[in-house]
Structure 1
Amino acid sequence: MLQASLLPLGNQEILTDCVYDFYGLRLAASGVDSKIKIFRLNESTGEWAFEHEWKAHDAPITKLSWAHPEHGSVIASASFDRTVKIWQENPGQSTSSQSRWTEKAIMTGARGSVRSIEFAPSVFGLKIASIATDSLLRVYECLEIYSASSWQLIEEIDVLTLGNPPNPPSPALASATPTHLPMNLEEGSPPYASSIHRPSTPTTLSSPIGSLSAPGGIAGSNREADSGWCLSWCKDKWQGEAIAVGAGPEAVIKIVSLPPAPQSPILLATLKHTSSDLRDKDYPVSCVSWAPTAGRSYHLIATGSKDTYVRIWKVSSKLNANGQLASSGDETSEEWEVRQVGEFEDHKSNVARLEWNITGTVLSSAGDDGQIRLWKSISNIWQRIGSFNTHHAVEEVLDNQDDVMQSI
């Protein structure tokens, strides 16, 4: 049966993010007080106990991410102070949280607040992707895995222009989007070259914050509230490195393949949000979650939007007999087929968070309405199987709750 317990947060005003570790036995939480709190589950009682706390940033934290345990106890944090920080636990140190969790690296390249981060599947090494309000997708790789230090920027992609035909930048456009710096175009480069910058030399990112540039901006919008930034890695190692990412006011999620250098990243597919109620505008995507494949021949990707909808997409890649992406020969065509298989408006408010279970069969969604809802495909039809909220714990679980919980 569905059960709930309360975290001992003390006087914490507002939580901004919380995330489980790989085993679901520890929980990292962050808030507007710029601190990270660690809780541990007592498996015998089912209660969560406070373990550690430390101040991690100079501004509210936006996102947290745990690395795979084969890399040790490593947490990444992103913040409105435009940085991503890597923290590593030292169990042999004193019980003081500040000394037990050590800052190993700091990424300072963002020209806006960093809104989403996520570690790559461990099969690809210790890598992390971030998206900031400058709408640049950045991928970093750790060069010293065991110490979690010395990180290198290996990809930097302008999500807003990714997949668009290259056009010479006009003075008017340049002045309208000061945070989008022009990229150099090489003769004979593919259509997406204008969106991609692969650093030519390794960059070690472990220095202090230093000076920061002007706040990031989005063309056609003066408010960050009108936009959304999110990302999620593909969990299937056989597919290769791929990321679903959304940025700015666009009502789309772009799926980007990251082949080994010197090949350029490829736009595989675009998930286009079109409101079904004939609203007068499209709303940005606020969150995205890529489901584990669990042996399926296709991918499931869930998206949440500020138009209040949760959407589930079935994405099929084109692979040849060698398991490689089959190229159509047309550099401007997208390689994957996309079909929407579910659309729900139960939250009736902005959808803020999406998570899949370990088999990719049950989706949980959280909205600004304070509700958490569970979704599952039954007889090939996606439907809600339960819901609860933060005030009354379990609010509703459908009549078939026993069968449902056993299938989760």
Structure 2
Amino acid sequence: MESFKCGHEDAIRDVEYDYYGKRVATCSSDHQIKIYEKDENGSWIKVQEIKHHSASVQRVAWSRPEFGPILASSSTDLFVQIYVETDKGPNERVWKLKAKLVDSVCAVTDIAFAPLAQGLRLATCSRDGFVRVYEAMDVMNLSSWSLVEQFRADEKDCHCIDWNESPFDPYQIVVGTRNSAKIWEYSNDYKRWQSVCLLDGHTEDIYDVVWAPKMGRKYHLIATGCKDGIVRIFKISSKGEFTVNLVAELNQHQSPVWRVSWNVTGTILASSGSDGTVRLWKADSEDNWRQIMVAGSGSALQKESERNRKSLLSD
């Protein structure tokens, strides 16, 4: 397990690796984004601080490498911002703000770049209940992004989103809201997004949702992390009508679960919670999900987790 000091002055909201795992972006309630690169010795070196938001930065997201080095951020200041790495001089590069997406009337809670097959697209969700999809029509002019689609996923609030990465399915997004998650699908016939599937069983707010890479499976896996302290894993089949099965409810965190993340093959799930631990889960030969590792004792991190929780609730 790697660790390094970020130097943020308030709660860290998100940490994201780029596609190759050689860069890390962090964002915080201190309104800042920090970018780190791994040097030849394996140490993480801060290469830039970005201070363009005027409120807490909620999420950061890297684009696919095919489009070049692009970073997006979302904030409670209502803005989504797009940054691009450019040449500043010989052997020197800098991240510059290229675009601001300003359509939300409430805090933007999550962002996610679309699968490669869709081009350079970015989905956002916010506390006004809307999911919005933007597209860079000209990848050589990243100062221009168009709002191409939007739909209301909830009457009050949207917390988190993720794309279905499979190129063999229609465009699909899973959206986590107050106490439910839904799969939305783009209909080419009606030219709009439609709710096609409910992931039921949550009792409180969903803080994170992540769609597993399919990797040859005949079904999909989606995981959620929830305020009620439970990690849930759903199995979805979509031959004709959608069939949803809740295959795991994992309650070892015993505290709110803030983030969940799949490995590249969709076989191992990581979760982090207010108990100060990161836990890894894997299905056994009988498809029962078991905890295979715990990082962090919880005790040393509990105070920081509680401080982060209070900061999150205050925004």
1:375 and 2:281 matched: yes
| TM-fit CA distance, 1:104 | 1.4
Report SS of the residue matched to 1:238.
coil
Alignment equivalent of 1:387, drawn from 284, 294, 305: 294
Kept in 2, the 8 Å contact 1:228–1:285? The answer is no
Structure-1 residue corresponding to 2:21: 24
Name the structure 2 match of 1:108. 102
CA RMSD of aligned residues (A): 2.2
Tell me what 2:45 maps to: 49
Amino acid at match of 2:14: D
Question: For each residue in 1:376-402, what CA deviation from the matched residue of structure 2 results, as whole angstroms up to 9, or x when unmatched?
Answer: 111111110001128799xxxxxxxxx
Separation (CA, whole Å) in 1 of partners of 2:205 and 2:50: 33
> Identity percentage over the alignment?
35
- Shift in Å, 1:265: 1.7
Please say if 1:305 is aligned against 2:301: no
Give how far 1:86 is off: 0.7
Aligned amino acid, residue 388 of structure 1: A
Q: Does 1:232 align with 2:227?
A: no
Aligned to 2:168, the other structure's residue is in SS state helix
Q: Is the 8 A contact 2:73 2:81 kept in 1?
A: yes
What letter matches 2:153 in structure 1? V
Alignment gaps of 5+ in structure 1: 162-217, 219-226, 275-281, 319-325, 327-334, 394-408
- In the alignment, the residues of structure 2 paired with residue 115 and residue 270 of structure 1 have an alpha-carbon distance, to the nearest angstrom, of 21
| 1:5-20 aligned within 5 A | 5-10=2-7, 12-20=9-17
Deviations 1:104-133 (A, max 9, x none): 111111111000100001111000111100
Displacement of 1:36 in angstroms is 1.1
2:193 to 257, 265, 289: 265
The alpha carbon displacement at 1:228 in A equals 5.8
Counterpart code for 1:133: R
Contact between 1:94 and 1:100, CA under 8 Å: does it hold in 2? Answer: no
1:356 corresponds to which residue? Answer: 262
1: CA distance, partners of 2:297 / 2:18:
21
TM-score if structure 2 supplies the norm length? 0.89
Q: State the shift of 1:54 in Å.
A: 1.8
**1:67–1:288 distance in 2 versus 1, CA, 3 Å:** same
SS of the equivalent of 1:273 reads coil
* Matches of 2:252 and 2:278, distance apart in 1: 10
Q: Which amino acid aligns with 2:258?
A: A
Give yes or no for contact 2:236–2:242 (8 Å, CA) kept in 1: yes
Once the two structures are superposed, the pairs formed by residues 4-403 of structure 1 within 5 Å of their partners are: 4-10=1-7, 12-42=9-39, 45-90=41-86, 92-94=87-89, 100-160=94-154, 218=156, 229-247=159-177, 249=178, 251-260=179-188, 262-274=190-202, 282-318=203-239, 326=240, 335-379=241-285, 380-389=287-296
Closer/same/farther in 2, CA of residues 107 and 345 from structure 1, 3 Å limit: same
Distance 1:11 1:116, change over 3 A: closer
SS across alignment from 2:19: coil
TM-score by length of 1: 0.69
- Relative distance call for 1:67 and 1:56 in structure 2 (3 A) is same
- Which one-letter code corresponds to 2:275 in the other structure? D
Q: More strand per residue: 1 or 2?
A: 2
